[in-house]
Structure 1
């Protein structure tokens, strides 16, 4: 190899090393900045970005944690009825209460869904609570006999002009 070719190759490698060092410095600075920003929620980056649900601190003497008002469990929105607490304790560990309430199924579908969750999603054995939970859900959130949406009613139709 000629000395001239060797010098070109050496300069090329030096350029690659410079780019790699610069990329490492940029990544390190970005990482430090993100740690700082994520660790300080008072910064303007987080202003106005509040979660959809209120965070509830759980304490041994917290009286409002399982509060029921007007027949509704305040924290989850579940209807207060026999089986509600079993449902809260077993279903809302993995799901939001809204997800549970919107899946209006009959008893057989709930049993199949629970079996599927146990086989594929690591749901624990519910034991005697399974029937209590299913009865609660079927009683308070039964399947609706509607299609995708209700039929439009009380509509004043008009004719489009060409």
Structure 2
């Protein structure tokens, strides 16, 4: 009785092995490309250190066109490095360029970020940042044109021939 048991066990082992090989082949046919893609090593992106004060000296991320820093869209002026280093570390520069405020308004925005968004203490950079923002992103008197003074308009009749 023992030889029949050993034979059955050997057959089941062989069947399991063949089933495993077939399963692996089927899996490779269906998902082989995805698995190969996942296992392929990815190139490591080189990080370039920011060099303050380069002023658009050739590297694409430092290029300035018409006074606007190309990579961020911020006005390239005194205090730019402090704003980029402190503000754009947490949010996009677009959040700055789409807003306008006075020095008091920008200070209030900074206080709000410190109270609700965990912004760190800016120390002596705060004065530089607020001055930059208030100078370059101050409120503008832009909007609808002033209403017409109908009383002062000199009206005339158009004569058609």
Short-chain TM bin: 0.5 to 0.7
Matched residue, 2:144: 150
The residue matched to 2:60 in structure 1 has which SS?
Answer: coil
CA distance in 2 between counterparts of 1:145 and 1:57 reads 44
CA distance in 1 between counterparts of 2:99 and 2:46 reads 28
Q: Deviation at 1:107?
A: 0.9
Retained in 2: the 8 A contact 1:111–1:134? Answer: yes
TM-score by length of 2: 0.53
What is the Cα-based RMSD across aligned positions, in Å? 3.0
- Judged with a 3 Å threshold, the aligned counterparts in structure 2 of structure 1 residues 83 and 151 are, in CA distance, closer, same or farther, namely same
The residue matched to 1:75 in structure 2 has which SS?
Answer: coil
- Judged with a 3 Å threshold, the aligned counterparts in structure 2 of structure 1 residues 138 and 63 are, in CA distance, closer, same or farther, namely same
The residue matched to 1:65 in structure 2 has which SS?
Answer: helix
- Judged with a 3 Å threshold, the aligned counterparts in structure 2 of structure 1 residues 135 and 57 are, in CA distance, closer, same or farther, namely farther
Q: Deviation at 1:102?
A: 1.4
Equivalences for 1:43-58 in 2 at 5 Å?
58=47
CA distance in 1 between counterparts of 2:133 and 2:118 reads 21
TM-score by length of 1: 0.53
Matched residue, 1:59: 48
What residue ranges of structure 2 are gaps of 5+ in the alignment? Answer: 1-30, 39-44, 51-57, 148-161
CA distance in 1 between counterparts of 2:102 and 2:85 reads 21
CA distance in 1 between counterparts of 2:138 and 2:77 reads 14
CA deviation vs aligned residue, 1:5-48 (integer Å, no higher than 9, x gap)? xxxxxxxxxxxxxxxxxxxxxxxxxxxx9xx6xx88xxxxxxxx
Q: Does 1:138 align with 2:127?
A: no
CA distance in 2 between counterparts of 1:93 and 1:105 reads 21
CA distance in 2 between counterparts of 1:150 and 1:92 reads 32
CA distance in 2 between counterparts of 1:115 and 1:60 reads 29
CA deviation vs aligned residue, 1:64-115 (integer Å, no higher than 9, x gap)? 2222222111100111100011111111112211111111001111111111
Q: Which has the larger radius of gyration?
A: 2
